[in-house]
Amino acid sequence: MLAVLAVFVGLVLTAFVLPAIHSAPRDVPLGVAGPATVVAQVTGALSAKAPGAFTTSAYTDEAALVQAIKDRDVYGGIAVSAGGPKVLTASGGSPAVAQVLSSLAAGLGAEQGRAVPVTDVVAPPVGDPRGAGLATAVLPLLIGSIAPVAAMRRVVRGPWRRLLGVLSSAVTLGVTLAGLLLWFGVVDSFLLPAAGLSLALAAMSTTLLGLAALAGWPGLGLGASTFLLLGNPLSGIQTAPEFVPAGWSVVGQLLPPGAAGQVLRSDFYFGGVGATRSALVLVAWVGLGLVLVAVGAARAVRTEPTERDAGAARVVETG
């Protein structure tokens, strides 16, 4: 028992520590605005200063770069005009990338002998200026998806009644959490955060219910452990998906916690812009959960007559 516990704790430590200690920007999308020759110079300088850290896209002017940031095409960038360079960030898109760009601005200022202005194009609400509310939202979502499934398995009979209960719970919890976040000042709107939270909860809880329908409590435990120990650390919600080691970042964004993080970031700060791909991932997980529930229900129907026949045979034998 102690050996099993030691292995489990070691796995938990590995899952959380390895992504953290290897966290670094990799191919972070940035924009560079200005004349073509200047854009080429800035792009070359970025590649020389931080090889592999950024991928750059060219824009004609600052307005185009600002729009690209609001569309979540890039995390930020550098706009160069006759007045000099300006660094544009979006702390709502990623506080970690915004910090990297602010440090870059400080370095440029030191080289030029004058301060380089930094503009935060998309910032979190004033009630949560560091975006901490979103960064800490994934764990409550995991708990909010596991607990209803466990409760339904104990209290409610029948797979479809359990499914209805789990989906109702996802909507109720999503609306409740959105209301609390609005009250706390983490978000400044209600409908989009409520929709994103409800979808995230539905994706995880439906999948967990399906696994439980197929494999019982071990299935629920396997799914919950996967989401918690693999999906949570690989989600990139604390930094950005591009900070997660290559390959693992793709896995993280295909798991519900990572997809949920991107949907919520879009819903919280960008008016839903850029959420489509990750929302489709969550919808796919809902679909998978429905399929698993259906398979589990069909298998239960097939096994019930066999169990009744076996019980009847035992009664006849004892009689």
pTM of the model: 0.90
Which helix (H) or strand (E) segment is 54 a member of? strand 54-59
What local confidence, expressed as pLDDT, does residue 316 receive? 44
**51, two tokens:** 């090889």
CB atoms within 10 A of CB 6: 10
**265, two tokens:** 């970031």
Pairwise CA distance, residues 63 & 79, whole Å: 9
Phi then psi for residue 61, to 5 deg, are -155, 180
Pairwise CA distance, residues 285 & 255, whole Å: 8
Pairwise CA distance, residues 168 & 207, whole Å: 15
- Please name which of 85, 80, 25 lies closest in space to residue 55, comparing C-alpha atoms: 25
What local confidence, expressed as pLDDT, does residue 304 receive? 58
| DSSP sequence for 64-131 | HHHHHHHTTS-S-EEEEETTEEEEEE-TTT-HHHHHHHHHHHHHHHHHHTSPPPEEESS---TTSTT-
Q: CA triplet 10, 15, 19: central angle to 5 degrees?
A: 135
What local confidence, expressed as pLDDT, does residue 311 receive? 47
Pairwise CA distance, residues 149 & 169, whole Å: 9
Q: What distances in angstroms separate CA 46 from CA 30, 42, 80, one per listed residue?
A: 10, 6, 14
Tell me which residue has tokens 């949920």: 260
What local confidence, expressed as pLDDT, does residue 12 receive? 73
Pairwise CA distance, residues 167 & 287, whole Å: 12
Q: What distances in angstroms separate CA 167 from CA 97, 137, 179, 243, one per listed residue?
A: 35, 19, 18, 33
Going from the first residue of the chain to its last (319 residues), give the mean pLDDT of each consecutive group of 10, the final group possibly shorter: 75 75 91 94 91 95 97 97 93 96 91 91 94 88 95 93 97 97 96 98 98 95 92 92 90 96 97 97 98 92 57 47
What local confidence, expressed as pLDDT, does residue 227 receive? 94
Contact 176, 194 (CB under 8 A): no
What local confidence, expressed as pLDDT, does residue 246 receive? 82
Q: What distances in angstroms separate CA 310 from CA 158, 215, 302, one per listed residue?
A: 22, 22, 13
What local confidence, expressed as pLDDT, does residue 312 receive? 43
What local confidence, expressed as pLDDT, does residue 138 receive? 83
Contact 235, 137 (CB under 8 A): no
Q: Burial code of 13-23, b = ≥16 C-beta within 10 A, e = fewer?
A: eebeeebeeeb
**153, two tokens:** 């398995």
Q: Where do runs of H (alpha helix) occur along the chain?
A: 2-21, 36-49, 62-70, 95-112, 132-135, 138-155, 159-184, 191-225, 232-234, 248-254, 256-269, 276-318
What local confidence, expressed as pLDDT, does residue 290 receive? 98
CA atoms within 13 A on the CB side of 233: 19
Q: CA triplet 254, 255, 260: central angle to 5 degrees?
A: 95
